Amino acid sequence: MIEAILNFLQVDTPTEAAWVAIGLVGQLLFTARFLVQWISSERARRSIIPMAFWYFSIGGGLILLSYAIYRKDPVFILGQSMGVFIYLRNIWLIRTEARQG
């Protein structure tokens, strides 16, 4: 059964398996941000984006960027690197506004 899973994931070595696991963890973090945003908005009865959304975005984005670099996928690398920059910028803007407010 494990061999069938490894074949499905297209991994041949323990290193490949570890990187697939890392990629899956990054994707789970990335997905968790949407759940956090949805639950927060439902509770507030309006659309909001909590800070946790941005932290999950950074965590998931950095892990997925690492995975993309390992896989040498230029499209994935570009997409994730741009996203991480945007998430960091949003946190910077939120903190700047909070200090001024």
Residue in the block written with tokens 């061999």: 3
Look up the pTM and report it.
Answer: 0.77
The pLDDT assigned to 45 comes to 92
- What are the pLDDT digits (tens) for 45-78? 988 899 999 999 999 999 999 999 999 989 889 9
CA angle 33, 40, 55 (to 5 degrees): 35
Task: State which amino acid sits at residue 33.
Answer: R
Q: Is the pLDDT of residue 6 over 80?
A: no
Taking the C-alpha atoms of residue 30 and residue 86, their distance in angstroms, rounded to an integer, is 14
Task: State which amino acid sits at residue 20.
Answer: V
Taking the C-alpha atoms of residue 86 and residue 89, their distance in angstroms, rounded to an integer, is 5
Q: Are 50 and 40 in contact (CB under 8 A)?
A: yes
Which 3 state secondary structure label does DSSP give 97? helix
